[in-house]
Amino acid sequence: MASVDNTGSSVSGRRRPGDLLHAGLVLTLLLGVWCVGGLEVSTGKVSFVEAMNGSTVLLPCTYSSCIGIKDLYFSWHYNDNGTIVKLCDAVIPTEGVNPKVSVKHDRVEFVGSPKGNNISILLWNITFEDEGDYVCFARNPKEKNRNHSAIFTLLVVDQLKEVDNTLTVIIVSVLGGVIGFVIIFMVIKALVVNFLLKDDEKNKECLVSSSGNDNTENGLGGAKADNKGTPKA
């Protein structure tokens, strides 16, 4: 039975501000958990690569989902100055099942593995025309078709830039010289200390020997002389 306040209105029929706040916090937490645990794709910590004209490059991409996948759809696209060109696509039925990849570019090869959530591709014999952004896309029906994408940028050059290691060589040389000087100093110090200790021991031995000789000459010799000078009764 609903209680009635002093105004005569039913308390159970009204929502208190505290209840609304509690419901809002619960909804926020649920949305936060959903966002954290949702589908994500990644092209790695470095989202670009610089490669020589005519070489073969790996375009990396992996996906993750805390609740698992079912009929996960993925694709690779190339952004050709605003024109989106599909390179390949496929559906992964479930975890650990190899997809049947449909490759739509003659120099593209799928090298991913569902066991590692890997959907990477190789691009063979690249040219300057291949330079640009490559989009890895995935959609997971198990998460109400939640989708995510990541961009990997390819830079094509005639030759790779040579890294100037002059500063590194200088630093290593200086550190090596300092370490060598410290080692030599420690060796010399050890030799000097060892020499001083041996010299000190020799001095102590000489003092002991000299003290023994003095006692013999002054003590025993004097006693004999006194006995010889004692007159007989």
Backbone angles phi, psi at 84, to 5 degrees: -90, 120
Q: Are residue 73 and residue 180 in the same domain, yes or no? A: no
Kindly state whether residue 13 falls inside one of the protein's structural domains. no
87 in Cβ contact with 76 (< 8 Å) = yes
Q: Are residue 85 and residue 169 in the same domain, yes or no? A: no
Q: How confident is the model at residue 29 (pLDDT cuts 50, 70, 90)?
A: very low
Q: Are residue 172 and residue 153 in the same domain, yes or no? A: no
Q: How confident is the model at residue 195 (pLDDT cuts 50, 70, 90)?
A: confident
Q: Are residue 149 and residue 176 in the same domain, yes or no? A: no
114 in Cβ contact with 88 (< 8 Å) = no
Domain span including residue 200: 163-209
Distances (CA, A) of 112 to 59, 115, 182, 220, 222: 10, 9, 53, 103, 107
Q: How confident is the model at residue 135 (pLDDT cuts 50, 70, 90)?
A: very high
Q: Are residue 72 and residue 116 in the same domain, yes or no? A: yes
The Cα–Cα gap between 154 and 50 comes to 6
Q: Are residue 151 and residue 167 in the same domain, yes or no? A: no
Kindly state whether residue 214 falls inside one of the protein's structural domains. no
Strand partners, 153: 48, 133
Q: Are residue 143 and residue 172 in the same domain, yes or no? A: no
The Cα–Cα gap between 98 and 94 comes to 9
Kindly state whether residue 123 falls inside one of the protein's structural domains. yes
- N-terminal to C-terminal alpha carbon distance within the chain: 144
Comparing 47 with 224, which gets the higher pLDDT?
47
Q: What CATH number is given to the structural domain containing 49?
A: 2.60.40.10
- pLDDT at 74 exceeding the cut of 70: yes
Of all residues in the chain, the percent with pLDDT exceeding 70 is 67
